[in-house]
Amino acid sequence: MSGRGRDVPEGIRFAFADSIAFLNAGDWDTVAARSGLFMSRRFLALLERNLPENLATHYALAYLGDRPVVAIVAQSLDIRIADLSSRGAGEEGRGLWRSVEAAAGRSITRARKRFLLFDVLLPWARLDAGTKAADEPELWPGVASSLWRQWRTLLKAAEHVAELPVAWVHQRMLVCGNLLTTGPHGVAFAEGEDPARLWPAVEEAVYRIRRSVKLFGDSDLVMIKDLTADQKDAAAALRHFHFRRFETEPNMVLPLKPGWRSFEDCLGDMRSEYRSRIKKTLKELEAWDVVLERLGPEQVKERASEIHGLYLQVHERQKLRLVTIRPGWIHSLADCFGDDFRTVVARPKGGDRLLGFVTVIRDGDSAYGYYIGFDKATAAKGTPLYLGLVYAGVGQGIAMGAERIYLGRTALAPKAQIGARAQPMHGYLRFQNPALNLAVPSILALLPAPEKPPERHPFKT
């Protein structure tokens, strides 16, 4: 093999593909058998048929001899800074890009001052203004005047660019992981294999994928997404290859007791002050004449446009928006996974207009609160749509017989109030250009610190 790292195990070989259908199905299933639904060929093939417009998929299988040992999911995307943070996210959502814009402005200002200084000190620099000094050398006027006009034109153009919103700057990125899920869904190791030994092979595969995608250049970003404490073996290998660790918002996980059959059972095990608060919220929802009901796959398909519109109302206000799902993605999930994918909607009592929705997908003994959306104007009036939908999602996870439900990494405090616990998550980042990679710690320092959820103990001991 030809590789970059001496730490890659001897005898490692790779198979690469841009579609999961092009890899050996049996080998992929062998490696990914314990890694859940989001690394299954079924899910990945469905995603390929519904890819966001700025996303492309890449896969790799690593072999030791003839034995498949690692499966890797990667995605490449082209992003505008305008897509990264929302107009409605507030100043904190744009802090990084405002810092970049300010730094660019400072550089332009310094350059301008230097040129203005030359304009004052060098007599020939004013020839384009129609002036002529008595002691000017005869050889230079035309050349100097032309050069100065070009510099001033360039300077004005640079100043104009600096004044433009940096929102239209494009950045290419390669991600090891899945941008349409939350969690460590980018790497799977075959049963019995040592992850610490094989993480260098993962980095080698990511390196080769990046080299194979021609639109990527040396300055582009590579990110390893959403690792948890269970992936501690990655740290040494990724540091060795100059990846920089960064913390992300935690994933909120609610353990579900075996005896629960409904959300009412969950409430019954809570302390009175927490139970009363949640029941008050549900009564407020009723007072607003809002009802919650589950839709079947056909109904989800019929209401796909409305559901997507509600999704966009929430998505477009998020601090970070790397990808936007297509209108058909949610009903495709409902069609594909049947009873393991559930959609609950909020609507006015006696009315047909959708006010909100939440989806839950089952993955073995876990359930995931997958997408949520609601009408912002209705919520602004005081209707507790978001909380009502979160509670409905928990109820569906219980009804599915899951042992835990992953609630995502937004609205941490309300989720802590119902007993969800924070699962810390982190990622790794690097520029492929070694010089630019030195700036990664400074870039990460500009990012806001992840929010820490309050510690709550709502259940009876």
What would the pLDDT profile of 261-286 be if each residue is shown by its tens digit? 999 999 999 999 999 999 999 999 99
Section 6-18 average pLDDT: 90
- How much of the chain, in percent, has pLDDT values that exceed 90? 62
pLDDT at 172: 79
What pLDDT does 33 receive?
95
User: Average pLDDT for residues 161-189, to the nearest whole number?
Assistant: 78
The predicted structure's pLDDT at residue 165: 46
Q: Residue 450 — pLDDT band, cuts 50, 70, 90?
A: confident
**103 falls in which pLDDT band (50, 70, 90)?**
very low
Q: Do residues 431 and 285 share a domain?
A: no
Which segment of 176-190, 300-314, 420-434 scores lowest on mean pLDDT? 420-434
Question: Are the C-beta atoms of 288 and 383 separated by less than 8 Å?
Answer: yes
Cα–Cα distances (Å) from 406 to 146, 188, 340, in that order, read: 65, 20, 15
For 9-13, 168-172, 366-370, which range has the lowest pLDDT when averaged over its residues? 168-172
Please say if the pLDDT value at position 379 is more than 50: yes
179 & 59 share domain: yes
CA distance 308 to 4: 44
pTM for this predicted structure: 0.79
Query: Does 249 score more than 60 pLDDT?
Result: yes
Position 73 pLDDT exceeds 60:
yes
Question: What is the pLDDT at residue 433?
Answer: 64
Pair 66, 110 in one domain: no
Residues 191 and 157 in one domain: no
Structural tokens at position 258: 């075996």
Please tell me whether residues 278 and 362 are part of one structural domain. yes
Domain contains 387: yes
> For the chain, how many structural domains are there in total?
3
pLDDT tens-digit map of 79-100: 765 555 444 444 444 444 454 4
- Tell me: pLDDT of 459 over 70: yes
pLDDT, residue 445, reads 58
Instruction: Look at residue 407 and tell me if it is in a domain.
Output: no
Q: Which of residues 128 and 275 earns the better pLDDT score?
A: 275
Last residue of one domain, picked from the residues 126, 143, 165: 165
Q: Tell me the pairing of strands 67-80 and 12-17.
A: unpaired
Are 188 and 215 members of one domain?
A: yes
Does 72 lie in the same domain as 207? yes
pLDDT of residue 91: 42
pLDDT for 240: 87
310 and 440 housed in the same domain: no
332 burial type by CB count under 10 A (0-12 exposed, 13-18 middle, 19+ buried) = buried
- Residue 135 is predicted with a pLDDT of 43
Q: Across the strands, what pairs with 223?
A: 175, 429
Q: What is the CATH number of the domain that holds 316?
A: 3.40.630.30
Please indicate, yes or no, if residue 436 is contained in any of the structural domains. yes
Determine which of 149-153, 214-218, 360-364, 392-396 has the lowest per-residue pLDDT on average.
Answer: 214-218
Q: What is the pLDDT, as a whole number, of residue 321?
A: 73
pLDDT of the residue at 436: 60
Assigned token pair, 168: 């239209």
Range of the domain at 25: 12-83+170-250+425-446
Q: What pLDDT was estimated at residue 212? A: 85
Identify the CA nearest to 411 among candidates 374, 442, 445, 378.
374
- Please check whether residue 267 lies inside any domain of the structure: yes
Residues 196 and 302 in one domain: no
Angle at 318 between CA 313 and CA 324, to 5 degrees: 70
Determine, yes or no, domain membership for 5. no
Q: In this predicted structure, what is the pLDDT of residue 127?
A: 38
Q: Given a cut of 80, is residue 175 above it in pLDDT?
A: yes
The pLDDT value recorded for residue 80 is 63
- Res. 132 pLDDT band, cuts 50 70 90: very low
Name every residue whose Cβ is closer than 8 Å to that of residue 278 and which is 6 or more positions away in sequence. Answer: 267, 270, 391, 417, 418
Does 457 map to a domain? no
| Lowest pLDDT segment from 79-88, 164-173, 374-383 | 79-88
Instruction: Compare 59 and 127 and report the one with higher pLDDT.
Output: 59
Q: Within this chain, do residues 49 and 111 fall inside the same structural domain, yes or no?
A: no
d(CA 289, CA 298): 25
Give pLDDT, residue 355: 98
Q: Can you tell me the distance from the alpha carbon of 184 to that of 23, in angstroms, rounded to the nearest whole number?
A: 21
Question: Which tokens hold the place of 123?
Answer: 């007599």
- Tell me what the mean pLDDT of segment 67-74 comes to: 98
304/312 Cα distance (integer angstroms): 12
pLDDT tens for each residue of 215-246: 555 446 899 999 999 999 999 989 888 898 98
Between the alpha carbon of residue 1 and those of residues 182, 195, 201, the distances in Å are: 33, 20, 11
The verdict on 44 and 193 lying in the same domain is yes
- 248 vs 163, residue with greater confidence: 248
pLDDT band at 156 (very low <50, low <70, confident <90, very high): low
The residue with greater pLDDT, 447 or 247, is 247
Instruction: Mark which of 165, 199, 217 sits at the end of a domain.
Output: 165
Region 363-371 average pLDDT: 97
Domain membership flag for residue 414: no
Residues 30 and 139 in one domain: no
Q: Give a yes or no: residue 2 inside a domain.
A: no
Give me the chain's average pLDDT, please: 83
For residue 164, pLDDT beyond 90: no
Q: Of 149, 165, 181, which residue is a domain's last?
A: 165
Query: How far is residue 224's CA from residue 378's CA, in Å, rounded to a whole number?
Result: 38
